[in-house]
Amino acid sequence: MSESSPEKPWAILGISWKQYAAARPWKKAGVTKEKYSEMLNLMPHEAMQILKDEADAERLVEGIFG
């Protein structure tokens, strides 16, 4: 029985590796890259999608209404 490897953090976040490296979200979270990746992999994919959708909506509202 083989255990699947964890998904890459930038894939979970829906961004490119370059965007991920430039943003350094693990630094903003105050944890190591490894810990940040581990935390993302523990989060249910549905929850991550909800957070992405809310962030997209906030950016749209900000873009429209300033």
Q: Is the pLDDT of residue 60 over 70?
A: yes
Residue 1: predicted pLDDT: 43
CA distance 2 to 19: 31
25-58 residue pLDDT tens: 999 999 999 999 999 999 998 999 999 999 999 9
Six-digit token pair at 62?
């900000």
Confidence band, pLDDT 50/70/90 cuts, at residue 4: low
Measured distance CA(16)–CA(9) in Å, rounded: 10
